[in-house]
Structure 1
Amino acid sequence: MKLSDIRKEYTIKSLDFNDVSFDPFHQFKVWLDEAIDSEVPEVNAMCLSTLGLNGFPNGRIVLLKEMDHGFVFFTNYESEKGQEIEANPKASLTFFWPELERQVRVMGQIEKVSEQESDIYFHSRPKNSQIGAWTSPQSKVIADRSELNLRMEKMEERFSIEPITRPPHWGGFRLLPFKIEFWQGRPSRLHDRICYEKQEGGKWEISRLAP
């Protein structure tokens, strides 16, 4: 089959002003809960897009770990994405839940979470994941897998005799949105798009966008 022949008609749901909350965080929580109830695989996976140091957009899948007044994820601060965020703390997130024919796009500024927040999440992780945070020089060139395995063995030996602490180069980021768009697939490619944009004073303005 040719790629140009692939077709899917979206028919499950619709989205209108009467269907959404005035608060985009509440609306996101409603959709997230529905995705969880529908057993969408990797329901908290999101594409994080940053501006590369070379000026090109750069995207990768990360996991949403908390949602409060922003969207929180954790990573190695010295990684490629960490360096990009340090240089330009603006990014976008894209969630795609195909089982519900839904997509959510988020744009905003990024800040580091507090050290306390990073500590709490780090110590909630499985021990192997904690050791992995110490092991990987994320995004750096390595000779082969054996180099990584050797680093892992050294870290396992180290932390067999001392408590595991959070690496100083590892922690959380919070994306503070100024724009959130909810997309619901509809027939004939006439999809529903409801967009929230933050105004001065913190109020959210809601509008419908053409598909």
Structure 2
Amino acid sequence: MSSIPREYVYFQRKCAITSNIDDLSVVRLIHIGVARDDDQTEACRMEWAWGLPRGGLYYYLTSPLNDIWLRTDIAQLYARGEFILAPTFKTYMDAMEFSTRAGFKNRENNDISLRRPLTALCPPNGLYRYVYIPLTDAARKLQGQLQLGPQSEEDWNRGIHPATGRKMKNSIKQYRVVEAPAHPVSVCSDMIQTLNRVEEVLSSTSLRHG
């Protein structure tokens, strides 16, 4: 997390959650070190999967698509992993459909045609929809102070889990929505890292008290 560098050009200078334009900080979702490692194997794989030209990973990781702009107190909660943002089911399904059309899934081994870059997955308004999921009391308290919109029927896929086809509990629809220009690839990467940290802490606590 860092304060706003003046040379950055963002989609909009405002907090993705509150729309504040003052007292803002940036959380970088995927660390730029991935593109700078001496071993470029992982960088090459990511560029291939995301339809980026060689060397394009660095430019993506330093772009606004890999950042989320938040009011500083909220950014601190987010950076500490006190809440996560997860794609709505609609955003998830759009991404899965895109990966099929982009030439990544079900690809023949001898197919060397170009894939569509991940940046081509973009809603008309430039904002992706995520659900706010609090993990701590502080994040739940914050949610009570926010005026976040509800999920639409499309957001929660009308109550049907897109992967299993099973009906979901109505409580799933209670999660509120945040709209942000940050790309789902970056948001999901940060979400997974946060959940892994939480799991490690819980496992460590369980071992100490076991």
The answer, yes or no, to whether TM exceeds 0.5 is no
Larger-Rg structure: 1
Would you tell me which structure has more helix in proportion to its own residues?
Answer: 2
Would you tell me which structure has more strand in proportion to its own residues?
Answer: 1
Question: TM-score of the superposition, structure 2-length normalised?
Answer: 0.23
